Amino acid sequence: MTRRGLQLSLPKPRTWGGRRPGAGRKRTPGRRPCVPHRLRPQHPAAHPVHVTLRATDAVRCLRAGRVFPTVSRALAAASHSGFRIIHYSVQNDHIHLIIEADDAALLSGGMRGLAIRVARAANRALGRRGPVWSDRYHARALTTPRAVRHAIVYVLMNFKKHRTGVGDVDPCSSAAWFDGWQTEFTSRDRRGSSPVARAHSWLAAVGWRRHGLIDVGEHPRSRARRTAVTAGTAP
């Protein structure tokens, strides 16, 4: 009796998911690349962090008179034990912050709560619903006194990148409560208690001052210059 052979089927090649050329969200021409969805590095309490939150195209008025007051109150309420906002500036479509956190979990949780709090405040002021942030927050650890000083200038003076003919101090920032200016000044926008927390880390409280107090006429450095300074290759 002739035995018939058994035809075995080969597994079909996988055609979906996994790493492959061209996978993932496509970049829109003219738009910034998205923050990669990678595991964030460990965060030591000794290093302040420069954080950027970017708004969607539908929310480009965070400095507006009816929006900024609610946003600033939300920022002031976001600090807590283990997570502190020590400097900030609000631009129309993004927010810059310098933050201290005691560990990576507190940084992540604090930023999640901050983003939700500010988004709700902005939506409430605008009478709208829907997402406010276009992407994950971008974070850069500040590991040297010089890097901290550059970040403070970049955050508090960021309005000079986007506007001309502006004054010395951005009213939509925590600059009026900053105590590291070279010369004292009186600001009419300095009302009530400070909206930011006191720095605890040596770098943010003391270390950056080794490179000099900040003049109100300084401007943020370009991206290329900041990268060179961080890498230690700048003259």
pLDDT at 235: 38
DSSP 80-129: BTTEEEEEEEE-SSEEEEEEEESSHHHHHHHHHHHHHHHHHHHHHHHT--
> Is there a domain that residue 11 lies in?
no
**Which strand ranges, in their side-by-side order, compose the sheet holding 94-101?**
83-90, 94-101, 49-54, 138-141
> Is there a domain that residue 193 lies in?
yes
> Is there a domain that residue 43 lies in?
no
Q: Which helix (H) or strand (E) holds 75?
A: helix 68-78
pLDDT at 233: 47
pLDDT at 192: 76
> Is there a domain that residue 71 lies in?
yes
pLDDT at 198: 96
Beta strands per DSSP E along 105-204: 138-141
Distance between CA atoms of residues 170 and 160, nearest Å: 9
Identify the CA nearest to 181 among candidates 191, 198, 199, 169: 169
> Is there a domain that residue 116 lies in?
yes
pLDDT per residue of the chain (235 residues) written in tens, 0 to 9: 566 666 666 666 666 666 666 665 555 555 556 665 566 778 999 999 999 999 999 999 999 999 999 999 999 999 999 999 999 999 999 999 999 999 999 999 999 999 999 999 999 999 999 999 998 999 999 999 999 999 999 999 999 888 766 678 899 999 999 999 998 765 555 667 899 999 999 999 999 999 999 999 898 875 555 455 444 544 3
**Count of CB atoms situated within 10 Å of the CB of 79:** 19
> Is there a domain that residue 152 lies in?
yes
**CB-based contacts of 163: which residues, under 8 Å, 6+ apart?**
none
> Is there a domain that residue 7 lies in?
no
Q: Which helix (H) or strand (E) holds 49?
A: strand 49-54
With a threshold of 0.85, does the pTM exceed it? no
| Cβ burial, residue 89 (10 Å; 0-12/13-18/19+) | buried
> Is there a domain that residue 18 lies in?
no
For residue 122, the domain's CATH number is 3.30.70.1290
Q: Please check whether residue 54 is in contact with residue 135, taking contact to mean a CB–CB distance below 8 angstroms.
A: yes
Q: φ, ψ for residue 45 (rounded to 5)? A: -60, -25
Number of domains in the chain: 1
pLDDT at 68: 96
Cα 198 to Cα 38, 86, 229, distances in angstroms: 31, 6, 26
Residue 68 structural domain:
49-231
Distance between CA atoms of residues 54 and 58, nearest Å: 11
